[in-house]
Structure formats: structure tokens, C-alpha cells
Amino acid sequence: MSVWRMLLAVACLAACETGRVAPANSSDGQAAARARMVQEQLVARGIHDPHVLAAMGKVPRHEFVSERYQAHAYDDYPLPIGAQQTISQPYVVAYMTEQLQLTGDERVLEVGTGSGYQAAVLAEICREVYTIEIIDALAARARATLERLGYRTVHVRAGDGYQGWPEVAPFDAIIVTAAPDHVPQPLIDQLKVGGRMIVPVGEVNQSLVRLTKTADGVREERLLPVRFVPMTGAAQTPRH
């Protein structure tokens, strides 16, 4: 079976299991590039969740970067998106998404919308995505891109993600795509019991951390070393 046929089968399986068909247009001339990305960068490195593979094989990553970088959209590295921010490399997006262990009916909070790409990947899998971006221009651009591509279950807010989105909490899962030097307590408070959060933590030496909230507290797992842009706003306020 060809790589692309395999991805189509995975996509159909995910759509049938979740009862949704993704809005993104897969007839965009980049389907083969996405198939290679999924096989060579994700499957080869141990990403196996069929929902994640289907989402990564469908979301048009090139639509989330400027025309200057579209030829490199499916390459194995991050790309600039303006305002000194980047779109993470495909493997990191897939890995973080897989670590949330999504099943399809979750409400997910994302802190750090950036280009909107991670939100689109999440929207292919879960029921609803709430995403916050502290840089107004990036929030506006991401909202426009997501609306143009038909992602109606993604809600974009411009603001400081350190405080989360309390009006619509609690969340089944939270993903943070910028690095604070500590896990924000408001995000822990807005996570459901049984929910998971994935967040890069640290300044110079960062670790990707998964937290699972239980009735007795929070369990923390350090997954791998990473390098993300620092979380700004309230995250930079000295703690006493």
C-alpha cells in the first residue's frame, strides 16, 4: 500500500470514529508532501496514534506560513511566523498532541495560538478548541486563517494565556506552546480531574512536562528536553 493510501485509510478511520469530516481541503497540491512528512518525520520517530497521524496528514501546514516559507512548510524544522515567533516543527506538534491522549470528545485549551496550526490539528481530533494568543496581530491572522479554512470549532482570543479562559473552563486537556519558568496555577485550576496538560517548562534548560490532574493532586512527568520561545505577560512577573 502506498504511503498516501495508508494515510487516506487512517483519515477515514478517524473520521468514522469521531463522526466528523475535517474541513481542511486536501486537494491543495501538497498532499504528497504531507504524506512524506507523516511517514518520514512522524511514523519513523514513533508517532502511532491514528487520530494524530490523520490530522497531520490533512491540515495544510503551508496555509499557516507566509508565501516566502510555503515551499518549506513540510520540512523538519520550525519556521518564522513574525513577531519573533515560530511555527513548531511537525514532529513537536504531533508529539505534544499525542501526549494529550485525545479520544475525540474533548474540549481543549491552547495557550499560544501562534499561526493557528496547532489549533487546527487539535480541531481535527477533538470536539472544541479554545486558543489564546498574547500578540494581537498573530491572534487576528490565526483567526482569519482558521475561518478561511473552515475550522468552526476553534475559538480564538487575544490575551494573556497565563490566566487561561476561566469563563469556559474546565477543560479536558490543555496544551501550552510557549515556555513559562513554572506551570501556571490558573491553568491547573482550569483542568478537569482526569485531564492532562502538556507544557514546556524552564528558561535556558527546558523540559516538556505532562501533568495529569487527579482527585488527590497533580502527577507530573518530564518527557523530553525542548526549546520553545518564552511565555510573556504575567508569566514573567517575579513570584514571591
pLDDT (tens digit per residue) in 58-74: 999 999 999 999 999 99
Asked if residue 6 has pLDDT above 70, the reply is: no
CATH of the domain at 224: 3.40.50.150
Number of structural domains (the chain) is 1
Distance CA(49)–CA(180), nearest Å, equals 28
Task: Note if 27 is an active site residue.
Answer: no
3-state secondary structure of 202: coil
pLDDT band at 238 (very low <50, low <70, confident <90, very high): confident
Distance CA(189)–CA(103), nearest Å, equals 22
For range 194-211, the mean pLDDT: 96
- CA 35 from chain centre, in angstroms, equals 19
Distance CA(41)–CA(46), nearest Å, equals 9
Distance CA(16)–CA(105), nearest Å, equals 13
For range 229-239, the mean pLDDT: 89
pLDDT at 18: 39
Residue partners of 192: CB distance under 8 A and separation at least 6: 170, 171, 172, 213
Over 45-100, what HEC string results? HCCCCHHHHHHHHHCCHHHHCCHHHHHHCCCCCCEEEECCEEECCHHHHHHHHHHC
Given the residues 2, 26, 66, 88, the one annotated as active site: 88
- Percent of the chain at pLDDT exceeding 90: 84
pLDDT at 29: 82
Distance CA(180)–CA(66), nearest Å, equals 27
HSE toward the beta carbon, residue 95, CA cutoff 13 A: 20
Distance CA(62)–CA(203), nearest Å, equals 30
pLDDT band at 96 (very low <50, low <70, confident <90, very high): very high
pLDDT band at 27 (very low <50, low <70, confident <90, very high): low
3-state secondary structure of 203: coil
Structural domain including 91 reads 3-236
> How many other CB atoms sit within 10 Å of the CB of residue 62?
21
Give the residues across from 219 on adjacent strands: 212
| Average pLDDT along the chain | 90
Dihedral sign for Cα 128, 34, 89, 98, please: positive
List, as one string, the DSSP characters of 160-184: -GGG--GGG--EEEEEE-SB-SS--
For range 49-66, the mean pLDDT: 98
